[in-house]
Amino acid sequence: MTDENHDWSLSGIAFAGCLFIGMGLGILFKHTWAGIMMGLGVGFIVMAILRWKNKA
């Protein structure tokens, strides 16, 4: 596996983790859709930061 593929897989795992945490919190507080949307937003931001940091 090349370094480029490794960067993609790490950011993808972080994205999925943020999504599931947001979904879990949304279900916990009975606002599932809000949790999913926040998880997606945080996941995209974390993914961008990880990809930017691994390129630099």
Q: Mind listing the pLDDT tens digit for each residue in 15-48?
A: 999 999 999 999 999 999 999 999 999 999 999 9
Residue 46: what pLDDT?
96
Range of the domain at 28: 3-55
* pLDDT above 90 (res 55): no
Domain total of the chain:
1
Q: What is the DSSP string of 7-49?
A: HHHHHHHHHHHHHHHHHHHHHHTT-HHHHHHHHHHHHHHHHHH
Residue 6: what pLDDT?
61
> Is the model more confident about 12 or about 54?
12
Its pTM stands at 0.81
